[in-house]
Amino acid sequence: MHRMTEPASNPIPLEIEPRDVHARLGSDEEFLLLDCRTPAEHELARIEPSVLIPLQEMSIRTEELEPWRDRSIIVYCHHGSRSLIITRLLRHLGFADVRSMHGGIDRWSNEIDDTVPLY
């Protein structure tokens, strides 16, 4: 089985803390918040403003992210596993500034915004 690896020269950490995402949302910094969960999960609970591209659709929808190739993308899922897969995939494809939100929306709900439902 082939494992994707990112270039060793990428100084950007793979993960970002929910509090840092929250701070970015409150700033003028432009970035894409990418939800890689299922449509049902996105409907149930989400962080706005986020764009939904489910993990299962990423291979056929990657071109939608081209405008963000040289810009910041933060990916989240339920607990952080799927978003790490997407983060590694996008870095492998040359998107340098991609990070996974550590702990996913579950941690976001617990630490940042308790109005976002836990599931």
9 in a structural domain: no
7 in a structural domain: no
Instruction: Tokens for 39, please give them.
Output: 């449509």
Is the pTM above the cut of 0.85? yes
27 in a structural domain: yes
Number of domains in the chain: 1
7 pLDDT above the threshold of 60 = no
For 14-55, write each residue's pLDDT tens digit: 999 999 999 999 999 999 999 999 999 999 999 999 999 999
C-alpha triplet 73, 13, 86: angle, nearest 5°: 45
- pLDDT tier at 3, thresholds 50, 70, 90: very low
Residue 33 forms beta bridges with which residues?
74
Spatial contact of 31 and 71, defined as CB atoms under 8 Å apart: yes
80 in a structural domain: yes
CATH number reported for the structural domain that contains residue 79 in this entry: 3.40.250.10
Helix pair angle (104-111, 18-25), 10° resolution: 70
